[in-house]
Amino acid sequence: MAASASFQDLALQYIAGAWRPGRGSWEIIDVNPWNGDKLAAITVATADEVDEAYRAAERAQITWARTNPYVRRRVFERALRVVEEREAEFTELIVAELGGTRRKAGFEVALVKEMLRESTRWATATEGRIPPSMTDGKENRVYRLPVGTVCVISPFNFPLFLAMKSVAPALALGSAVVLKPHQDAPVTGGSLVARIFEEADLPPGLLNVVITDIAEIGDALIEHPVPRVISFTGSDKVGRHVATVAAAGFKRCVLELGGNSALIVLDDADLDYAVEAAVFSRFIHQGQVCMAANRVLVDRSVLAASTEKFTARVRALRTGDPADPEVQVGPLIGPRQAESVTALIEEAIRDGATALVGGPTVRNVVPPTVLTGVPEDSPVLRREIFGPVALLIPFDGEDEAVRIANATPYGLSGAVHTADTERGVRLAQRIDTGMIHVNDSTVADEPLVSFGGEKCSGMGRLNGEATVDAFTTTKTITIQHGRTAFPF
């Protein structure tokens, strides 16, 4: 029988296949962001325990890399069954720990299942090459091999999915993993992942979860000599630090960072549909999504109609307890984030913006807000807003839309709405962003489609062939049949 997945059961470190308390001198308190209830207290892991996790991964990976990939694949088939059979249980954990609505939780679990389905394919996805040689009688063989051990650092917004997005393919491709979840999502972003793979009979030591904080371990997680790849999802500020520390050890980084996406509504767009896409793109999970449409850019010729439809739709969003299946916008992850977003709204209004929709923040719930008339020099236009705040911005013609969309240090996602799809593609090609979607949401992620950003939105890519590149390396072996005529 499967063990339960309650917060108390999962308030532990998972190292070398064993559940155990951390040896640190303090605790991370896991709190429900809606009602403030204490979910669990987790004693942090120390730097010594980080070392133990990496050493366990290093030992286990040697055998795992040599395991038949068809045998490895069975682990992910079993993991998928675990998630399918216990979806309701995992949904409750997401709602409680993240303040995620039931709709969001269902969306996240569906993404996790797709990632596990693709991981069964990644287990057999590595192929070598035999390139031609410029030397007679020489055979070139290029082997694709696991990188060894991967460090995964997951965020708090979609923690189960974004942890699984790196953990599952890295394991499937023959590497081991040490996972550190965000302190605000230690269970759904960390120990729950371990529980899923434990129940799927992943060999001990291949996946280790350390719940800790930089205040306890410093940079030990990144500086440690064992991991060769660091997969980090989070803010660009922390991402810069991760990249700087990793560079000193010549470690490869895959950094999925922040965004300031623009959803562009052209003059020929289906306005009702564009509004639906914009509302989803901005307000899913209270706007705590790196791909969220911070900015809704609307051609001035359709601005009045778009504004009326958009504001009416936003006013109709239900806020409150995320456990209520009718609620669409719940709390932000904590009071610090709620205070920060509230201050940002107030700053934008002081700069001259007008709030078309909004209201007072209550505890951690920031009401859905629509701001217009934001001055072009306002800092809010160029930063990531990790909350339920949309900036409605008019433009005159495509060239101005491109200029406004690109006037940000970020470049992760975007969208263009138009009746002419090829017109949308032409405009999309002019936006400095890693991903952009014609007649869809800015929030889109599929296992086979390259995911990643430009500028301060990160470096490296995941999904599809990019995932194989991220978590494998190549080794070239040449064979000289006969004798080489050396040039001296």
Measured distance CA(120)–CA(109) in Å, rounded: 17
- Distance, CA of 46 to CA of 24 (rounded, Å): 5
CB 290 within 8 A of CB 456: no
Tokens at 115, concatenated:
């990632």
Burial classification of residue 476, based on how many CB atoms lie within 10 Å of its CB (0-12 exposed, 13-18 middle, 19 or more buried):
exposed
The answer to whether 139 and 481 have CB atoms below 8 angstroms apart is yes
Annotate 403-438 with DSSP letters as a single string. Answer: HHHH-SSEES-EEEE-S-HHHHHHHHTTS-SS--EE
Q: What is the CA radius of gyration of the chain?
A: 24
Q: Which two tokens stand for residue 259?
A: 């965004």
**Residue (of 432, 378, 380) closest to 405 by Cα position:** 432
Q: Which of 52, 256, 384, 398 is catalytic?
A: 256
Is 256 among the catalytic positions? yes
Rounded Cα–Cα distance for residues 263 and 274 (Å):
9
- Token pair for 195: 């529980």
**Block residue for tokens 């403030």:** 36
Spatial separation of the C-alpha atoms in residues 1 and 168, rounded to whole Å:
23
- CA 40/CA 403 separation, integer angstroms: 47
**Residue 283 to residues 120, 210, 265, 368, 434, Cα–Cα distance (Å):** 33, 31, 17, 7, 21
Residues 49, 151, 198, 290: which is the catalytic one? 290
- Mapped onto helix, strand or coil, the DSSP state of residue 157 is coil
Helix (H) / strand (E) element for 356: namely strand 354-357
Amino acid at 204: P
Contact by Cβ (8 Å): 213, 43: no
Q: Which of 163, 206, 156 is nearest to 14 (CA)?
A: 206
**C-alpha span between 156 and 364 (Å, rounded):** 15
**Residue 84 annotated to the active site:** no
Residue 286 · residue 387 · CB < 8 Å: yes
Token digits for 391? Answer: 């900036």
Q: What angle do CA 85, 87, 90 make, to 5 degrees?
A: 125
Catalytic residue ranges: 256, 290
